[in-house]
Amino acid sequence: MPLLNSSYSGAPAYLYNGHLQTIVPSLTRRVTGVTYERERLTLSDGDFLDLDWIDAGKKRLVILTHGLEGDSQRQYILGAARLFSTNGFDVLAWNCRSCSGEMNHAFRLYNHGEIGDIAEVIEHALQTKSYEEIVLVGYSMGGNITLKYLGVHGKKLPAVIKRGIAISAPTDLGASALLLDRPSNRFYRNRFMKKLITKLNQKADRFPGRLDMTKLRQVKQWRDFDDFFSAPVNGYRDASDFYTQASAVNFMPDIAVPTLLLNAQNDPLLSPECSPGWLAEKHPFVFLETPKTGGHVGFLILRDPYTYAERQALAFAKGFISQ
């Protein structure tokens, strides 16, 4: 498919760069009117996930996957939940392991390449509800998870899954990790690392001898953190193995349903490699939209309760975007 010409008019003028377009919506946006019903899903390995539903008995379901250290209460998830639920969809916003307010039981946490959990979430929805159509929408890390899931399953995807949408997705994790080490991205790097270290300390306390937290003193760049912690806690050999196995771009060629990837060109957390134009140009199902502005999971529209990303996701889910 040809690359999409973006219709995004751009962020409000006072958000004049990618950092402001990323940080201001995260700190100031407030979405109201969303009421979830929580369900705890016991996983095949005995661990659990907390699922937040808006179940109105509709025939279509959107499954929302949050970003790194996010959850179902993030404003971008709430915004999508409200928009989809008022436009003919039930909503399932699931929380990755350790992200729902209670630490998960297993040693492992969650990561960009983990698609077993979303597979169990989808299977649970299919077994307990009667949906004619499912659309997957993921943000940032959740976008990478969504794209990898679609690519790995390819033509063997459950037939009820009709479309996928990924917003601000770091599809090339190695390239994105390098960006986190830039001085201009220190705010994001420190914020992510602080939250992850808190969880890793809990894991180290509960599982003595499994993690060497003294190696934190050796972390000089984000790749070190992935080598010492992200990889071992999630079952990867090292950072290189993690980046190879988790990066969605390595699996996207096998996607077999219409899929939209929306990445802003000024996203401070995404490298150009995360927006594979070379793939979209020749792939029958991958649509790539790269507006000049938008930041990371930002895409604000002046005087609009919803973001451009949310409105574009709904339009694509309904089949209104074809080229």
Catalytic sites, residue numbers: 140, 267, 296
Give the separation between CA 144 and CA 136, rounded to whole angstroms.
Answer: 11
On whether the CB atoms of residues 55 and 86 are closer than 8 A, the answer is no
For the chain, state the CA radius of gyration: 19
Distance of CA 71 to the CA centre of its chain: 10
User: Given the DSSP bridges, would you call strands 48-54 and 60-65 parallel, antiparallel or unpaired?
Assistant: unpaired
Q: CB–CB of 141/180 below 8 Å?
A: no
Strand-pairing partners, residue 259, are 164, 286
Distances (CA, A) of 273 to 147, 168, 173, 265: 15, 12, 9, 11
Closest to 291 (Cα-Cα) out of 1, 3, 2, 8: 8
How many Å apart are CA 298 and CA 300, to the nearest integer? 6
Q: Is the dihedral of CA 75, 80, 86, 90 positive or negative?
A: negative
Instruction: Name which of 95, 232, 293 is nearest 309 in CA terms.
Output: 293
CA distance 27 to 287: 30
CB 61 within 8 A of CB 85: no
